[in-house]
Structure 1
Amino acid sequence: MRLLALNKPFGTICQFSPHETRASLADWVKVPGVYPAGRLDSDSEGLLLLTDDGTLQARIAEPRHKLVKRYWAQVEGAVDVAALQKLARGVDLGDYVTRPCQATYVDAHGSLWTRTPPIRYRAAIPTTWIELSITEGKNRQVRRMTAAVGFPTLRLVRVGIGALDVFSLGLQPGESIDLRANAPWDGVA
């Protein structure tokens, strides 16, 4: 069984097939036969696990297993406690209501790598970094959640899956590591 952790760079699509205008996973991962366990949209970055084991892939990706995924979101505006409480209780997104989650402020300065290209900067509009720990992971869920409470996401980084986090793994954007050979990985599934 193979299990890799990749720090997926911004702009990379979550597939191995070549794309005309974007980088794909094949540009960063040279191990044959592995597939992403879950997805990150091309505008999101951070920790992505890849495996050749279908059972493990399902345990990581499927919401019924309730594996926690942690995201740091830089949002437009000054987030107040009431918005964090709404996020934590669950948000009605129209087509579904999100499960309760953990929502807190986070100080991302000095912890994260510089994104290329950087997010737009507007001097008159503050930004806030928050951490959301969710167990679902539906399509663009975190972005939809923050927008639903009035704070659109400008930058989204998945920093953790289960017991793993991108910081303790020491991964820079585009770097990957074989977890079975180099790090404890039991906490993933």
Structure 2
Amino acid sequence: MLRRGFLSVRSGLTDDDVRKSAAALAVRALELPELAHARAVAAYVSVGSEPGTLALLDALHARGVRVLLPVLLPDNDLDWGVYEGAGSLAPVRHGTRMALLEPAGERLGPEAVRDADAVLLPGLAVDGRGMRLGRGGGSYDRVLARLERADADPALVVLLYDAEVVDRVPAEAHDRPVHAVVTPSGVRRFR
């Protein structure tokens, strides 16, 4: 029910709202030292009314950062490919879901995320403990578990709208906190 509430608010955003927020989000995210010094960043391509990521992806790519983007596998795990600009993305439909933009090039395998200095995570909300509420598919829970098993410690950053930073979200034993949230109006750090 909580997820539906956040998705309902997002569905009321206009294209102009999403565009303006994406521009502000990119500016804020690019100010993060974790991204300024990163050689490789695992990110994602936003869809629909999610906080927009394309401007941020382009800016990171222009800086020479190796940007890894997810490729959804049939079991909801994630493989990774390299972002080479908007022309390197292809729409892919997974069953009845909305088409996702995925990198069209070589697949690097699910373990490629371990090489990222920072991981930008999608979400619906984050709370004061840094606990992230995802969409419920478990894809990024697997990514975070993979990073933990490998003793990798990239900066974990969730990209959200301002109203999606809340007091508390439900958390389970396997959930991992993020280090920061970036919204169009600023950055909040945890831990």
Using the size of structure 2 for normalisation, the TM-score is: 0.27
Structure with higher Rg: it is: 1
RCO greater where, 1 or 2, for CA within 8 Å and sep 6 or more? Answer: 1
Using the size of structure 1 for normalisation, the TM-score is: 0.27
Specify which structure has the higher proportion of helix.
2
